Amino acid sequence: MKKLFYSWGIFINLMLLSQAPAFAATQEELLTTIFGRLQWYILVVFALSIFIGVYFMKSQDRRQTSLNQLIREGEPVHSVGPDTLVTECVRLMTVRKMGGLLVMNGKSLLGIFTERDALNKVLAGGLDPSSTKVSEVMTRDPYCVQPTMTVDDAMRAMTMRRFRHLPVVRDGEVIGIVSSGDLTLWLGRYREEELRDLVDLDGRP
């Protein structure tokens, strides 16, 4: 029996020795494949890191854009006089698709009338919109900003002060109004452009 085990042991050892070069070659191929894939993964992670960094840098740059670029020079500022009835104001806001309307006396800004004022002060207050003047329910002395204010600062101001419209004033004259929706669209539009650029880049031969 011992001789039988001894013979089988010699046979198995000879088989392993005969296959050692092939086994070594297989190991070498396996290691080559693993290192090749590892290098590819590292390259992908590196490229993604660069892309993410550039994306956030561009996003931050867009947030540092001044409100000047959101306001179209020469575009009329939609406003009403202090004696305008609430019904007319709401009708104008609906037609213009606006959430807020400036109340002005000539070039002097008196206040701002928003959808929130219509709900909280007119409807909730039981007032008749067809006989209520906008000066009675407007938000007086609204917070105004300079056109040099950045988009990021404007968004922060809206968040902290809990309102959605900012009159933009330059040298004491109202030149426009921006809303939270305007700022969101501004940022979203450039994200769409970046996505289109990525698709175009990916589709290039």
**Is residue 85 located within the same domain as residue 44?**
no
Q: 10 Å Cβ neighbour count for 102? A: 21
**Is residue 75 located within the same domain as residue 58?**
no
pLDDT at site 48: 59
Domains in the chain: how many in total?
2
**Is residue 73 located within the same domain as residue 131?**
yes
Render each residue's pLDDT in the chain as its tens digit; 205 residues.
544 444 544 444 444 445 445 444 465 665 566 656 666 666 656 555 555 544 444 445 678 888 888 876 557 788 999 999 999 999 999 998 889 999 999 889 999 999 999 999 999 999 999 999 999 999 998 999 999 999 999 999 998 988 889 999 998 889 889 988 888 888 876 555 544 544 443 444 3
**Is residue 54 located within the same domain as residue 99?**
no
Whether pTM > 0.85 for this model: the answer is no
**Host domain of residue 51:** 22-63
**Is residue 83 located within the same domain as residue 98?**
yes
**Is residue 175 located within the same domain as residue 100?**
yes
Q: Which CATH number covers residue 163?
A: 3.10.580.10
**Is residue 44 located within the same domain as residue 74?**
no
The answer as to whether 9 is a domain residue is no
**Is residue 140 located within the same domain as residue 98?**
yes
